[in-house]
Amino acid sequence: MSSIVAAYDKTLFYNEAGKYCVLRLKTADPMVPENARDKYKFADHLIRFVAVGYDLPRTDKIRLELDGKWVDGKYGLQFQVDIWHELVPPTIEGILGYLSSGVLKGIGPKTAGEIVQRFGTDSLNVIERQPERLLEVKGITEEKLDEIKAGYAESKAVRDIMMVLAPFKLTPKTAMKIYWHFGSDGAALLRESFYQLCQVSGFGFKKVDAIVCQSGGNLHDPMRIRGALFYALEKSRTEGGHLYLEADKLLGEALVLLNEKIPQLDRRLQRPQLERELRTMVETNVVVSKKGNIYLPHVFNQESETACKVAEMLLDRPEAVMLAPVMERVKGKLGITLSPRQQEGVEMVFQHNLSIITGGPGTGKSTILKAVIEAYQIVYPDGVIALGAPTGKASRRMAETTGMDNAATLHSLLHLHGEDSGWQEKRPLDADLLIMDEASMVDMWLAHQMFMRLKKGAKLLIVGDADQLESVGAGSVFRELIQCGLVPVTVLDQIFRQAEDSRIAYNAKFIKEGTPELYYGPDFAFVAAEDQAQAAELVQRIYRKALKTASVEQVQILTPFRATGDASANSLNAAIQGAINPPDITKPELSNGGRLFRLGDRVMQVKNDYDMELYSERHELVGAGVFNGEVGIVSGVQPGALTVCFDGRYADYPLESLGELELAYATTIHKSQGSEYDTVIVPMLPSHRILLSRNLFYTAVTRAKRRVALVGMKKALYMAVRKDSTGKRNTLLGERIQLYHQALARQDKLKKAS
């Protein structure tokens, strides 16, 4: 780690939401590497260099002491700041400059002058230890004082956390995440025990345990036991999709985890020790226990509050609407006919504030959506309609099918910045009707955010395919809403495309029903292969042939495995990159951490990045946020950075962010949720049997609009179709909806009786 003292010179980039910034700083320190220095010679003879970090002060009124390291980035060699603090001269001028800089929220130049005039060189001490005395200053109200105190507390708390956790080599962004979780008590809690970190997403018990054990920590520390219990709960949520664990299972998993580091049998922790700690955690509301099921508190609140909101919406029946004449106008204007089931689906939206439409490909979901939107605009001409989907791809497809250009991701609609972010605008959604598509992808956290922001009386239409894979995040929201038996559901099971036009729709229906005998033809082919090597060769051959009549965006390989075997996503990506986009002196490329990207490569974002700035071709800012599963093309490669085009929106990736990308000629079926392609190629082999299942196979097939090519063995196909792996996730959302509905209905009945 290097240290440097510098001052602010220029802002090159700043993101308000994530507080990530790229600054040009100036210093007299001759240790700045020659290749990191600005080539221009300045009149003050100071050295300019680029620094990147979080929430760095953007003012030249103070100097900064920075700790970090030199890394290659978009702007060449730049200083990546891990820890920083201000160097404030203990003089009137120094303190005035510091307070005038805008570093502290609520204090501008005028207020700074008044504070310094009143308290002189004791100003900083007053702000830190006696902030109420600021009310003596002209212009500082109680409200202003609260703003100043909150800003100072946040800044101090984050830096205290970074100092306490120096062994972990935290970034300021991570420290901010810890602050959002613990609040101002974060540093004190962590001084008590590093195992508190196990409550924070991204800090696994094993990582924390290793550091503590290296420093001679007590393996029988109750906080270590608590950390293991937290970790087991969080792991079950992030990896298994469970909202809770049964107490018995939780204790068993935590016990195994704790004793891995204790080889001596006589020193190992015993189950009663864990039981005592779990009881304490329940009694102090650190975790929630319901009928022997253990929840993390925030997860329990998400499930409970969502269930209550759903029950309220179900009981809040809208006024009756004469829909028959409206529907005749709609059908005439759109030039459509509706089946009785489709008609019921449209009417349901106007009879209830919450309703669901579910069905597979070719069953007319898009037709219903068009009819609902058109009818709603006639009945409620001043009503506001919002359209949302979990991914950018799904929202753009929604806009295309409905003709509504305001479709957006749910994150954008709700102004969300990620589950791990404490910065969320709690504003209600300004919509009288929200239509949400691809509902199977919505997890408990996102569903909770959505339901809690719906204004009273608003309508919500949820659309999706219940036979798709479950959401990547925890919970089983769509399935629970359907299975609770209270939410009005329209099931579309009639295929409106003819078999000769689309075998895909019919075969999807067969797969869903567990029938392995499928229709084959030009748009749905099966190519035999004996093993992974042969399958991989055939997949590549079919892929290259498909590209003769289609673009790289229209053809997609979907495979069950990411990293195992010749037919895995990683192996196929490397092979196809070499075949269709080989090395060339005219094509720049960039590599980091074993990943290599070349100009023209098809790539996928593999994690949610809520702060990523998006630009137009003219480099005008058009938005922020690139989400897990979004696919783009590498459109530019510079030293230490590359640019990716996502459907006309451009994002810049410095070298340290390349871990957010992977090649996407082939991807896993799980990653394809919410996307559609003209042609889908799917390797299917018995060696994939661990992951092969009906809903996985169904999801892969339904991603295709025009053609499916299966490559492998019929045996694997039969295995997949006959294996129903829609395993029950631990969630009680449906049960809670029923309970809240009963309770609220009784309350309404009593009110009416009185």
pLDDT band at 499 (very low <50, low <70, confident <90, very high): very low
Query: What is the three-class DSSP state of 51?
Result: strand
% of the chain surpassing 70 pLDDT: 94
pLDDT band at 174 (very low <50, low <70, confident <90, very high): confident
Phi, psi of 285 (to 5 degrees): 65, 25
pLDDT digits (tens, 9 = 90+) for 572-596: 999 999 999 999 888 998 887 778 9
714-719 contacts, C-beta under 8 A, 24 or more apart: 714/526, 714/528, 715/686, 716/684, 716/685, 716/686, 716/688, 716/689, 716/692, 717/516, 717/518, 717/526, 717/684, 718/516, 719/686, 719/689, 719/692
For β-strands 602-605 and 631-638, DSSP reports them as antiparallel
So what's the pLDDT on residue 500?
A: 45
Q: Is 661 left (phi over 0), alpha (psi -120 to 50) or beta?
A: beta
Q: Which amino acid is at 341?
A: R
pLDDT band at 627 (very low <50, low <70, confident <90, very high): confident
Side-chain-facing half-sphere of 547: CA atoms under 13 Å: 15
DSSP state of 458: -
So what's the pLDDT on residue 244?
A: 96
Query: What is the three-class DSSP state of 459?
Result: strand
Highest mean predicted confidence (pLDDT) among 53-57, 300-304, 703-707, 716-720: 300-304
Q: Give all strands (DSSP E) within 627-665, no chain letters.
A: 631-638, 641-646, 649-654, 661-663
Q: 203 or 149: which carries more pLDDT confidence?
A: 149
pLDDT digits (tens, 9 = 90+) for 632-642: 999 999 877 88
Cα distance between residue 608 and residue 18, in whole Å:
13
Whether the CB-CB separation of 41 and 608 falls below 8 Å is answered with: no
Highest mean predicted confidence (pLDDT) among 357-371, 446-460, 687-701: 446-460
So what's the pLDDT on residue 463?
A: 94
For residue 4, give Cα distances in angstroms to 66, 172, 280, 335, 670. 5, 17, 47, 70, 45
Query: What length does the chain have?
Result: 754
Q: 708 or 267: which carries more pLDDT confidence?
A: 708
Cα distance between residue 74 and residue 323, in whole Å:
58
pLDDT band at 368 (very low <50, low <70, confident <90, very high): very high
% of the chain surpassing 90 pLDDT: 39
Helix (H) / strand (E) element for 82: namely: strand 76-87
So what's the pLDDT on residue 654?
A: 79
Angle between helices 297-315 and 444-453 (to 10 degrees): 50
Lowest model confidence (mean pLDDT) among 82-96, 105-119, 654-668: 82-96
Q: 73 or 527: which carries more pLDDT confidence?
A: 527
Question: What letters, b where the CB count within 10 A reaches 16 and e where it falls short, cover 324-338?
Answer: eebbeebbeebeeeb
Lowest model confidence (mean pLDDT) among 147-161, 308-322, 393-407: 147-161
Residues whose CB falls within 8 Å of the CB of residue 382, separated by 6 or more in sequence, listed in order? none
Q: In the predicted model, is pLDDT for residue 349 greater than 90?
A: yes
pLDDT digits (tens, 9 = 90+) for 18-59: 567 889 999 999 999 999 999 888 988 999 999 988 778 887
pLDDT band at 725 (very low <50, low <70, confident <90, very high): low
Q: In the predicted model, is pLDDT for residue 497 greater than 70?
A: no
Average pLDDT over residues 206-211: 80
So what's the pLDDT on residue 169?
A: 63
Average pLDDT over residues 113-141: 88
pLDDT digits (tens, 9 = 90+) for 331-344: 999 998 888 999 99
Q: In the predicted model, is pLDDT for residue 413 greater than 70?
A: yes
pLDDT digits (tens, 9 = 90+) for 302-321: 999 999 999 999 999 898 88
Cα distance between residue 48 and residue 32, in whole Å:
9
Q: How buried is 256 (Cβ within 10 angstroms: 0-12 exposed, 13-18 middle, 19+ buried)?
A: exposed
Q: 645 or 607: which carries more pLDDT confidence?
A: 645
